[in-house]
Amino acid sequence: MLECVQRRATWITFGRVSPSYKERLEIGNLITFQQRRLRGDLILSFRIIKDNFGDLNQDSRLRGHSLKLQKEIQNHCELSNQQAGGHGDPVLIIDRQPMMHYYS
């Protein structure tokens, strides 16, 4: 979409007799959309590595370079004490109705 807007804007400024798209970019000192995306990716990569965008993995057993980001591992299991109110009260866990009761 942005590439279409840039192409149209450079076409409007030159009128009907216009040079090619690459020549218009050179005259207007503009870059292509692909170069703009690559530049944005490089800037984001630099920020991740240098500006502490995330935590670096300190595990030395991994292959590759030392600037790998640490992934947060989440367990997606449901625990009984979380379903019972999150307090871990054993009475609430024992007195809780089985799940089949809710479906019938």
- 0.85 exceeded by the pTM? no
Interatomic CA distance for residues 70 and 67, integer angstroms: 9
Interatomic CA distance for residues 11 and 52, integer angstroms: 42
Higher pLDDT, 90 or 24: 24
Give the list of residues 6+ apart from residue 80 with CB closer than 8 angstroms, or none. 93, 96
Q: How confident is the model at residue 76 (pLDDT cuts 50, 70, 90)?
A: low
Q: Which residue pairs from 27-32 have beta carbons closer than 8 angstroms and sit at least 24 positions apart in sequence? A: 30/6, 32/3
Higher pLDDT, 77 or 10: 10
Q: Where are the domains of the chain?
A: 2-50
Look at residue 97 and tell me whether its pLDDT is greater than 70.
no
Look at residue 52 and tell me whether its pLDDT is greater than 50.
yes
Rounded mean pLDDT of 70-80? 61
